[in-house]
Structure formats: structure tokens, C-alpha cells
Amino acid sequence: MNLPGWKRAVIKVGSNLIAPEGRGLSTRYLLGIARLIAEFRSEGRELVLVSSGAVAAGRAVLGLEPTGRRSVGAKQALAAVGQVRMMEAWSRLFDRPCAQVMLTADDISNRRRFVNAKNTLRELLALDTLPIVNENDSVATEELKLGDNDNLAAHVAVLIEADLLIILSDVDGLFDADPRSAASAQLIAEVVQIDAGIMALAGGSGSSVGTGGMRTKLQAADKAARRGIATLILNGRSTDALDALRRGRNPGTLFRAHGSKLSARAHWMKHGLESQGVVVIDAGAERALRDRGASLLPPGVLAVRGNFRAGDAIDIVCGEADSERRIAKGVSQYDAVELGRIKGHGKADLERLLGYVGSEVVVHRDDMVVFRDDARAAPASQGVAP
């Protein structure tokens, strides 16, 4: 079975591949994975790596055994020690720059921090670096943790609007029974819908070092599918599986997306986000948004209404007060007060007016849907709806 075509992907690598048997970091499996990532990047594909293994690396550095439960404080300390070693291990395997990105649950749920994280990853990809993401275990408390890197990878896939989420594990994929106890267990090549029956197939974690099992992988696949992103689970220890992935074949279990990524995003922006304010733009900005799929820039903004914050949804309108037309809806990079200061001004004035170097765009084209008169929506980067 061929995989769906993709340009941008998130690859999640589990602890059992990075620290086999929990005895410290090893390149035994990482060499093949790094080679695969390098080949994908040479083809012009964009990748973000979500890597487990910081706590396991910290244990190894300090000579501690992987057994027994530890306090949150102890895990945070181990992660702080091990994160450096984990980044060193990955950086040695690539001939291009790597960037460390640490995220917490608050970076996903807080509007301003979500926008900042998205902008950072977007810029890192534009700079042709390899972002390596991990949860910031050294500061995240138990109540504020995402909990596992499978679900973190799904959040990152949504954050960067990936086409595909690839989860590399030490199992071949999802089976119709537990292959460790049932010799007749069969690999499920494709899952169209993750329902209660599929979730029932998930067993516990088979890892001595990780926090996730098949259940968290299914949860991650479900999150991604609902935003139009397919997920592939495969065995990262298998050279044959990695080679099949490189050739665009499905060597594990493919979870189909629910509709297209673009339609899912447009539907979420149109129906899932309540607008917190209004921005009035001039005719030139309207043409740029409608005809060229451009981002909204400060010079095209005439007026700002409402008390919105960075990361809030706003309506973008054009025309006189008694005949305003809603042009688009999107996620603002600025607070209402900040936008009020820079409206109508060019890039050269932003730092002077804000007191810091702000974003060059008010609403990025990837965070916007543009409307026709019939109010049907389309992602701004794809022009207007047909």
C-alpha cells in the first residue's frame, strides 16, 4: 500500500529506540533513522523531530537504574541532565543545523504562546534547520504535562500543519491481538476510523523507559486525523520498514485522515473559533488577500475594534461602516492595543512603535480563511473558495 503524498511531516522517535533497555543513549537504531531523515530533507521535504529519551539519558549519566517510581522533582532533574546528551546524540548524526525546541502543555493551550511556538517552528523550517522537540520535563508539573511524546507529536503536527505524522516505535504497528501472546495476531495495515473497537486493541506500554504504549499512539492518531493529518505507526528498529517508508510504502499501520488538512483547518477556523474583534482593511489589502492569498500586513489595516489578544480569532472586514463586507477570519499575531499602534505603518516603523521587534504580519495566510460573498471559506494560502 502506498502512503499519501506529503511535503511536511513530524517524526516521533520513542524511548526504546533512543535508549534500548533503558541503559543510556545508543546510536544502534538512530543511525538508520537519521539517514532516513537526511534523505527526506535532500528531497526538499520539511521535517520536525519529536524525540523521547531525556529522562533515560539523565539516568544513564548519573548511573541510576531505570526501575522504581520517582518523584516529579527527580524526573525533572533527570530530564535537565539528559536533554543535553540527547541533543548531542542527534546533532552528531546530521550535517545540517539542529534546533532544540522545548514545549509544555501551556504552550499548546495558551493563545499567545501557541502563536509564538508556531512562528518559531515555521521560521526554523524556513531556515532549513531540523527542529528537535521535546516536552520541557524539567519545568512542567504533573498537572500541566502533556504526559507523553506521542500526544506531543500530534500537537506539533497540528501546530506546523503537517501532512503526515510518523510514529517510530519498537512494534510493527497495530495488531488485531497482542502479538506477544497470540501467535495468530495479524498486523492491521490501514485504519479508517478510530472507534471503541480499535481502542480496545491497545494494550499497555511494553517499554521499560517510556511513558506511552499503543493507547497513547492511537490517541495521537485520532487527534491528528481530526485535523486532516494521516498517521503512520511502524517499527523504527526494522531496516526493511524504514526502507519501505523511504520508498513511499506503508510498512506498518496507516491511520487515514478525516477529510483534507485544508478543509479541516478551514472548518475549525470558521466554526471552532469565536471572533474576539474586528480589523478594517483597505481595498489594496482586500485584493491581496482575495487574489494572491497573501498575509495581512500592518500597512493595510485602517482600524481596530475590540479587546482581543494575540492568538485570538478576528474578523477582517472592508468597506464603509454602513456597508462593511467580511473578507476573512484569522488568528491575530498582535493584541488590539499593539495593532492599534502599528496600523497603517510599514516594517521599518514596527520596532519604534512597539518597543520590540514584532511580527511582520498581522494575520499569516496559513492562519486565515478568506470568504466569498456566499460566505463559503477557503484557506487563504489557497486563494478563495471555488
* Average per-residue pLDDT for the chain: 86
- Please indicate, yes or no, if residue 56 is contained in any of the structural domains: yes
Cross-strand bridge partners of residue 368: 330
The amino acid sitting at 342 is I
Residues, the chain, total? 386
- Please indicate, yes or no, if residue 3 is contained in any of the structural domains: no
- Please indicate, yes or no, if residue 1 is contained in any of the structural domains: no
pLDDT for position 77: 86
Distance CA 352, CA 65 (A): 55
Cell digits for 247? 520508498
One domain for residues 253 and 216:
yes
One domain for residues 242 and 366:
no
One domain for residues 238 and 316:
no
Say how many C-beta atoms besides its own lie within 10 A of residue 63's C-beta: 7
Q: What is the CATH number of the domain that holds 158?
A: 3.40.1160.10
Q: Which of 223, 243, 259 is the last residue of a domain?
A: 259
Which residues in the chain show pLDDT less than 70?
A: 22-23, 67-70, 72, 137-147, 203-212, 261-265, 267-268, 271-272, 373-386
- Please indicate, yes or no, if residue 337 is contained in any of the structural domains: yes
- Please indicate, yes or no, if residue 323 is contained in any of the structural domains: yes
Cα dihedral 381/155/257/165 (nearest 10)? 100
One domain for residues 29 and 90:
yes
One domain for residues 115 and 200:
yes
Strand order in the sheet with 190-191: 98-103, 130-135, 46-51, 8-13, 164-169, 230-235, 253-255, 190-191
Query: Positive or negative, the Cα torsion across 144, 147, 149, 154?
Result: negative
Largest CA distance in the chain: 72
Cell digits for 270? 470558521
pLDDT for position 60: 81
pLDDT for position 55: 82
One domain for residues 113 and 224:
yes
DSSP string over 321-356: GGG-EEEEEEE-SS-HHHHHHHTT--GGGHHHHHSS
Q: What is the CATH number of the domain that holds 362?
A: 2.30.130.10
pLDDT for position 113: 82
One domain for residues 252 and 271:
no
- Find, among 382, 30, 1, 378, the residue nearest to 189 by Cα: 1
pLDDT tens profile 185-234: 899 999 999 999 999 888 654 443 344 489 999 999 999 998 899 999 99
CB 300 within 8 A of CB 284: yes
One domain for residues 250 and 284:
no
One domain for residues 27 and 164:
yes
Query: Positive or negative, the Cα torsion across 137, 142, 146, 148?
Result: positive
One domain for residues 94 and 143:
yes
- Please indicate, yes or no, if residue 17 is contained in any of the structural domains: yes
- Please indicate, yes or no, if residue 179 is contained in any of the structural domains: yes
Element (H, E) at 234: strand 230-235
The amino acid sitting at 146 is L
Q: Would the pTM of this model clear 0.85, i.e. be above it?
A: no
Distance CA 270, CA 377 (A): 7
Residue 255 phi, psi dihedral angles, 5° rounding: -105, 115
Question: What angle is formed at CA 121 by the lines to CA 133 and CA 290, rounded to 5 degrees?
Answer: 150
pLDDT for position 53: 82
Domain of 95 in residue numbering reads as 8-259
- Find, among 166, 141, 224, 205, the residue nearest to 49 by Cα: 166
Cross-strand bridge partners of residue 11: 49, 166
pLDDT for position 110: 73
Distance CA 83, CA 77 (A): 10
pLDDT tens profile 20-72: 876 678 889 999 999 999 999 999 999 999 998 888 888 888 888 776 666 76
Cross-strand bridge partners of residue 102: 134
Say how many C-beta atoms besides its own lie within 10 A of residue 15's C-beta: 26
Which residues neighbour 249 within 8 Å (Cβ) at sequence distance 6 or greater? 1, 2, 3
- Please indicate, yes or no, if residue 2 is contained in any of the structural domains: no
Q: Which of 215, 233, 259 is the last residue of a domain?
A: 259
Distance CA 19, CA 207 (A): 10
One domain for residues 349 and 244:
no
The tally of domains found in the chain comes to 2
One domain for residues 128 and 177:
yes
Question: What angle is formed at CA 342 by the lines to CA 338 and CA 346, rounded to 5 degrees?
Answer: 145
Q: Which of 241, 259, 277 is the last residue of a domain?
A: 259
